[in-house]
């Protein structure tokens, strides 16, 4: 009989094996299997069974330090956050200085925020200070870190350590690593930062085709087909303006989470379905919308919009009344 984490769990539920035997089998999967899904499943079953021993903590800690699989490291991090939060401060302090995987870094920062101790705040603060010493957001592409360095330097001069909260520091770090990660995936990334809090206020992932010569290589364009491709966008809650023009986006549902948006620019995409209007209506602070050169404009009537929303549907500005 071929065992799997699921079968081990079923045997445990039927009292065919005890917790100790289940633990040994599941740990064997975690440490020896080459299948990512099996390893992940084994860790999740360990959580479900409720095995939270010092031995397991040590195994998870070792995964953070030495495992080459980012997804498995992140599953281990989330387990530690749920079940060993207070004890995890020491490994978190180490891994935040060595981890390169974006999703893992997000989990580490969230965990340090959740610990909510003076030690975890100091770690977050020190990581924020390090931003000023980072020359490049993306060294390989030579994308410089001038904007964040300038804003953080000024922010730390005007606001002392004791007046920062865990949440404020974690948001600065998440915004910073998110924009750095976006530069790895897209050739055209432009942004502005709110100097009062160090968070992104504007994001421009547009491809302005009118400025490109015919035959521009594919790799020089963002070519975004889905909002879900924009990794970490959901964390940029303070965005006021986003420009996604000249991409290939069909659906904007995932923009609904950005409730502070006041300016949404979507020129020349593939937005066609009327359901997208419902998503626009769920953006409570939206003041400016540019939908030019999308098929949906042929289906739009003036009464579809809030009277206070300035809308561009054609080449001339239209104020819906």
155, 171 Cβ separation under 8 angstroms: no
Which of 116, 150, 185 is the last residue in one of the domains?
185
My answer on whether 194 and 321 are in the same domain is yes
Is residue 113 assigned to a domain?
yes
CA–CA separation, 291 and 302 (whole Å): 14
Helix axes 19-32, 5-13, angle to 10 degrees: 180
Q: Give the range of the structural domain holding residue 297, as residue numbers without chain letter.
A: 186-321
Q: Which of 32-55 are b and which e, b meaning 16 or more Cβ less than 10 Å from the residue's Cβ?
A: ebeeeebbbbbbbbbeebebeeee
* Bigger pLDDT: 303 vs 198: 198
**For residue 258, pLDDT beyond 50:** yes
Query: pLDDT value at position 316?
Result: 54
My answer on whether 149 and 199 are in the same domain is no
**For residue 303, pLDDT beyond 80:** no
Strands, E, within the chain: which ranges? 136-138, 143-144, 190-194, 199-204, 241-243, 263-265, 288-290, 310-312, 317-319
My answer on whether 125 and 156 are in the same domain is yes
- Tens digits of per-residue pLDDT, 273-301? 999 999 999 999 999 999 999 999 999 87
Is residue 79 assigned to a domain?
no
- Judged by DSSP in three states, 14 sits in coil
Is residue 37 assigned to a domain?
no
Helix axes 70-83, 102-115, angle to 10 degrees: 10
**For residue 253, pLDDT beyond 50:** yes
Domain count, the chain: 2
Which of 185, 218, 239 is the last residue in one of the domains?
185
The structure tokens 């931003």 sit at: 131
- Tens digits of per-residue pLDDT, 200-251? 999 999 987 544 444 445 457 899 999 999 999 999 999 999 999 999 999 9
My answer on whether 150 and 219 are in the same domain is no
Which CATH number goes with the domain that contains 298?
3.80.10.10
Give the number of residues written for the chain. 321
Phi, psi for 204 (deg, rounded to 5): -125, 110
**For residue 173, pLDDT beyond 80:** yes
174 burial class (0-12, 13-18, 19+ CB within 10 angstroms)?
buried
**For residue 318, pLDDT beyond 60:** no
My answer on whether 191 and 297 are in the same domain is yes
My answer on whether 160 and 225 are in the same domain is no
Angle at Cα 191 formed by Cα 185 and Cα 193, nearest 5°?
A: 130
* Average pLDDT of span 74-80: 98
Is residue 318 assigned to a domain?
yes
Is residue 23 assigned to a domain?
no
Is residue 30 assigned to a domain?
no
My answer on whether 307 and 197 are in the same domain is yes
Mean pLDDT of the chain: 94
123, 93 Cβ separation under 8 angstroms: yes
Q: How many CA atoms lie within 13 A of 68 on its CB side?
A: 2
Which of 141, 157, 185 is the last residue in one of the domains?
185
Residues with Cβ < 8 Å from 35, sequence gap 6 or more? none
CA–CA separation, 181 and 203 (whole Å): 13
């Amino acid at each position: 009989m071929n065992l799997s984490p699921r079968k081990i769990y079923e045997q445990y539920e039927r009292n065919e094996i005890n917790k100790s035997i289940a633990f040994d089998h599941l740990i064997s999967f975690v440490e020896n299997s080459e299948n990512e899904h099996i390893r992940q499943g084994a860790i999740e079953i360990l959580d479900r069974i409720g095995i939270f021993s010092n031995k397991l903590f040590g195994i998870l800690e070792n995964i953070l330090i030495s495992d080459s699989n980012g997804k498995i490291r992140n599953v281990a991090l989330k387990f530690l956050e749920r079940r060993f939060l207070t004890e995890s401060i020491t490994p978190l302090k180490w891994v935040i200085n060595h981890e390169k995987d974006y999703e893992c870094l997000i989990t580490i920062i969230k965990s340090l925020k959740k610990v909510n101790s003076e030690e975890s705040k100091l770690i977050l603060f020190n990581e924020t200070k390090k931003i000023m010493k980072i020359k490049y957001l993306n060294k390989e592409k030579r994308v410089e870190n001038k904007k964040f360095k300038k804003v953080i330097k000024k922010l730390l001069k005007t606001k002392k350590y004791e007046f920062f909260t865990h949440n404020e520091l974690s948001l600065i770090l998440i915004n910073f690593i998110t924009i750095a990660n976006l530069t790895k995936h897209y050739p055209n990334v432009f942004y502005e930062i709110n100097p009062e809090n160090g968070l992104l206020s504007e994001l421009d992932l547009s491809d302005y085709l009118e400025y490109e010569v015919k035959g521009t290589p594919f790799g020089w364009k963002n070519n975004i087909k889905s909002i879900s491709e924009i990794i970490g966008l959901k964390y940029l809650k303070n965005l006021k303006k986003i420009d996604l023009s000249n991409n290939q986006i069909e659906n904007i549902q995932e923009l609904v989470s950005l409730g502070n948006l006041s300016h949404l620019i979507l020129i020349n995409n593939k937005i066609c379905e009327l359901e997208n209007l419902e998503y626009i209506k769920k953006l409570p602070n939206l003041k400016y919308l540019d939908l030019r050169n999308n098929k949906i404009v042929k289906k739009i009537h003036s009464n579809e919009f809030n009277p206070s929303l300035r809308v561009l549907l054609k080449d001339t500005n239209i104020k819906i009344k």
